[in-house]
Amino acid sequence: MSRFFLTAICLWLLIGCHHVSHSENSVKSISEFALIPKVNQIEDASGSLQIRAKLDFNWKTNQNEDLKNRITQQWQQIITDQGTDDASTLLEIIIDTTLDLKSEESYHLEIHEHGITISALSDEGVYRAWQTLRQMLYLKGEHSIGCGLIIDFPKYSYRGAMLDVARHFFSVDEVKRYINQLAFYKINYFHMHLSDDQGWRIHIDRWPLLTEIGGTSQVDGGEAGFYTQDEYQDIVQYAAERFITVVPEIDVPGHTNAALASYAELNCDNKKRDRYYGREVGFSTLCVDKEITYQFVEDVIREISQITPGPYFHIGGDETHATPEEDYIQFINRVIPLVGKYGKKVIGWDEINLGELPPDAVVQYWANTENAVNGVQKGAKVLMSPASYAYLDMKYDSLTPIGYHWAGYIDTQRAYSWTPETLVEGVEKENIIGIEAPLWGETITNSDDIEYLAFPRLLGYAEIGWSERGDSRTWDEYKKDLAIHGKLFEKLGIHFYRDPKVNWLTASD
Ligand code: TNX
């Protein structure tokens, strides 16, 4: 009798298990998810987890109320099906500084049958893990996700995107929209090109005409603008909530017509320049022999540094065709220490290698390999932004309606097909802090334009910067995952370029 009973239980269990595993066939195992950037380690386990609209948070230590609320809100935006019962999904957060993880951004994300556990050294790791999980929630299809463990960490600590708000002004909301999109792909630095010949975009208390005059122009005219310091701080804060660090750039000594149009005394001949609405650059320079030039630069660096929590200040330094080389070196050598004086590390375009570089300087490589190598030899680090691979303002092909092609066409495949540490001989992995994708603004005027040029190429840069994939992931493999992100772009309302090399899926697929 009892034997019969046992057999019955066993049978029931067997059938039950069978039933579970049968329904699991349609549940995606975690290794099947099209995660971009590709996670570094992933292991499937048996079983699956039901995903419910209701979230049961268990934040073990140092609960970050703001982050918790945002995760809850975004969860509920994605999982709208309330179901009929009152069940919830458990999300457990463990922040433990003694965990054996490689960086603050590293995390473990475990899906088990009773819930989801994220462990990290800090909120930053939790946030990166949340982006992975967010992608899984969007892509899961079914109500369940297969069990398993993801162990993830960044290859490079700097994965940036630059937006040029000087050639065309972008509103605070447009900037935030882009920052929000960057966060989804684990970009962690946002570089703002805040001044150029065509416009000066941040208010400086000591030099108010910079924005009163210099803030009114942009390429081809139209309504330009600038950020008050409060607005800039609002952007910085918005980025910080997404664990993105803002890097402000004031481009000197060239690319300064907007400043030279605002203050006569910054010009060697004491004559104000006209405002500039064109595209060609390389004609302007601050007057390097005047003391007031350095007062000006110091005021600007001080005021912006005081409202910038991040470690970097970018001094531009590119294309100074109107500044004789000797003058340029003299200028750079006076300005670099000012950045240190206000507690920041200096970044400059690769031309700044001509100056004396402190050990924490960063040279942003964009075109000239000699400059980058020379920077390395002087002990600086390199930020990789090779124009012919990583410039988001390059056209995809000859039909792209906006953008330039002076560095060649960059389609989605080309944007993905380079490796920072093998690109320039003499610039090795240990010299590189990471990569950045600049988006210059001469030809773009609104969020649609930004997104059309950034998406889908940005995902490739995000992956190159984040994933320790070596050469193991080919374009053919990557493009399959990318195709699936077409669905996400649609859901998120991202106006992207449907590169014909990719078989895009749509939201209804
Ligand atoms: C070069 S890249 C520039 C920018 C232009 C860009 C257009 C660099 C450091 N300077 O001033 O906007 O080309 O692609």
pLDDT digit string, tens, across residues 247-281: 999 999 999 999 999 999 999 999 999 999 999 99
Residue type, 113: E
Flag whether pLDDT at 11 surpasses 60: no
**Could you read off the pLDDT of 469-488 as tens digits, one per residue?**
655 689 999 999 999 999 99
Nearest CA to ligand 1 atom 13: 440
Secondary element (H or E) of residue 297: helix 291-306
Q: State in Å: Cα 440 to ligand 1 middle.
A: 6
CB atoms within 10 A of CB 492: 15
Dihedral sign, Cα of residue 48, residue 51, residue 54, residue 55: positive
| pLDDT value of position 3 | 52
Terminal CA-CA length for the chain: 53
Q: Best mutation site among 165, 197, 319 for ligand 1, i.e. most ligand atoms within 8 A of its Cβ? A: 319
On whether the CB atoms of residues 49 and 111 are closer than 8 A, the answer is: yes
**Could you read off the pLDDT of 47-66 as tens digits, one per residue?**
999 999 999 999 988 899 99
| pLDDT value of position 118 | 98
Q: State in Å: Cα 390 to ligand 1 middle.
A: 12
pLDDT classification of 16: cutoffs 50, 70, 90: very low
**Could you read off the pLDDT of 387-432 as tens digits, one per residue?**
999 999 999 999 999 999 999 999 999 999 999 999 999 999 999 9
Q: Verify whether residue 463 is a known catalytic residue.
A: no
Atom of ligand 1 nearest to the CA of 391: 14
**Could you read off the pLDDT of 303-350 as tens digits, one per residue?**
999 999 999 999 999 999 999 999 999 999 999 999 999 999 999 999
| pLDDT value of position 495 | 98
Residue type, 160: G
pLDDT classification of 25: cutoffs 50, 70, 90: low
Instruction: Give the separation between CA 279 and CA 402, rounded to whole angstroms.
Output: 14
Ligand 1 neighbours by CB, cut-off 6 Å: 281, 318-319, 349, 366, 391, 393, 404, 440, 442
**Could you read off the pLDDT of 364-399 as tens digits, one per residue?**
999 999 999 999 999 999 999 999 999 999 999 999
| pLDDT value of position 18 | 33
Atom of ligand 1 nearest to the CA of 196: 11
Q: State in Å: Cα 317 to ligand 1 middle.
A: 11
| pLDDT value of position 471 | 57
pLDDT classification of 22: cutoffs 50, 70, 90: very low
The token pair that represents 405 in the structure block: 């092609």
Instruction: Give the separation between CA 310 and CA 1, rounded to whole angstroms.
Output: 73
CB atoms within 10 A of CB 98: 6
Residue 77's φ and ψ, nearest 5 degrees, are -70, -35
Closest CA to 284 of 312, 307, 308, 262: 262
On whether the CB atoms of residues 194 and 231 are closer than 8 A, the answer is: no
On whether the CB atoms of residues 173 and 202 are closer than 8 A, the answer is: no
3-class state of residue 180 by DSSP: helix
Instruction: Give the separation between CA 185 and CA 188, rounded to whole angstroms.
Output: 9
User: 286 to each of 76, 119, 268, 270, 292, how far by Cα in Å?
Assistant: 52, 51, 8, 11, 10
Residue type, 34: A
| pLDDT value of position 223 | 93
Q: State in Å: Cα 405 to ligand 1 middle.
A: 11
Atom of ligand 1 nearest to the CA of 441: 12
On whether the CB atoms of residues 106 and 120 are closer than 8 A, the answer is: yes
Tell whether pTM > 0.75. yes
3-class state of residue 118 by DSSP: strand
What number is the average pLDDT over the span 287-302? 98
pLDDT classification of 15: cutoffs 50, 70, 90: very low
Residue type, 145: I
Flag whether pLDDT at 137 surpasses 70: yes
Q: State in Å: Cα 492 to ligand 1 middle.
A: 30
Nearest CA to ligand 1 atom 12: 440
Atom of ligand 1 nearest to the CA of 364: 9
Whose tokens are 């840069």? That residue is: 461
CB atoms within 10 A of CB 423: 18
